[in-house]
Amino acid sequence: MTAAGGVSVNGGAAAAAPALTARVDMEVASVLSPSQAKTFVACPAKWYFRYVERLPEYVTGALAVGRAVHRALEGNFRQKLSSRVDMPVGALAEMYEQAAAEEFSHADLRDEEDPAELKDLGRRCVLKYLQEAAPEIQPALIEHPVSGRIGGVEVRGYVDLMDVEGRIIDLKTSSKKPAGISADYKLQLATYAAITPGASGICRLDTLTKQKTVQLVHQTYHADNSTERLYIETMYPIVQDGMKDGRYWPVRDGHLCSRKYCSFWRVCEREFGGTVNG
């Protein structure tokens, strides 16, 4: 089996192929996660580079901010499990600063990215969430491992947050205000609603917009109806079959296909030719 450009996945020279092909270790595709499924649907080549070849991923400025925000708010909710109150502003800001320092210490920033500005933006996101969302959330589960079978496929993952009412809450940061919940996030939320004990089927996606004036957007998603359940029960077997098929191609018109957001753009250009957007 070969990769496009004449590079044999299993070593040695080989003839060029129209799409990267490989013998995939069946263990890789035997147990899936929502992240794996989302990555494969968005770009099969990216899934291959990340999960099969296990190529290193660099941390962009945007990713460093998102991770630091997530870590700080996770810390707040972990202590809230027992204390039932949120952290003081100062303590949470300090926790964020520590997380940001660690994340940015190994980030690969673009020339136009100012780390001080990015860190300040993340701090404002954390405090926005602490003020407007955290007070009404009493967590029941934080970064909790879950597993189950969906459409005959074993699926595992970690639930970021589930409150005492069984509502799954997922937090993300974005450069712009969301127009709705995308299909990949619906797959993720519906998956966790299906395999998390105690989940009510009601999910919420909270988006912090990384703009000059930070906004917090709440979007509710009902994952407990038959249509949404059918979607994930249909998608996981299809995705798994695609992974095992052994042919992977780049999706160059995807909104995350860019040198800014994809760690694998260099190997992608080398294997498939063409140019990845800046």
Q: Render pLDDT for 52-89 as a digit per residue (tens, 0 to 9).
A: 999 998 888 888 999 999 999 999 999 999 999 999 99
The domain in which residue 23 lies consists of: 1-28
Query: What pLDDT score was predicted for residue 246?
Result: 85
For residue 194, the Cα-to-chain-centroid distance in whole angstroms is 18
Same domain, 116 and 5: no
**How many folded domains does the chain comprise?**
2
Higher pLDDT, 214 or 1: 214
Q: Is the pLDDT of residue 191 over 60?
A: yes
Query: What pLDDT score was predicted for residue 157?
Result: 96
Same domain, 120 and 206: yes
Task: Establish if 185 belongs to a structural domain.
Answer: yes
Residue 140: partners with Cβ closer than 8 Å, 6 or more residues away: 81, 162, 163, 164, 166, 198
Percent of the chain with pLDDT over 70: 91
Same domain, 5 and 70: no
pTM to 2 decimal places: 0.85
Same domain, 24 and 83: no
Same domain, 1 and 82: no
Q: Tokens 């263990």 map to which residue?
A: 27
Task: Establish if 152 belongs to a structural domain.
Answer: yes
Q: How confident is the model at residue 110 (pLDDT cuts 50, 70, 90)?
A: confident
User: Which of 191, 215, 230 lies at the terminal end of a domain, its last residue?
Assistant: 230
Same domain, 85 and 178: yes
H-helix or E-strand spanning residue 146 = strand 139-150
Same domain, 9 and 100: no
Asked if 71 and 99 touch (Cβ cutoff 8 Å), the reply is yes
Task: Establish if 262 belongs to a structural domain.
Answer: no
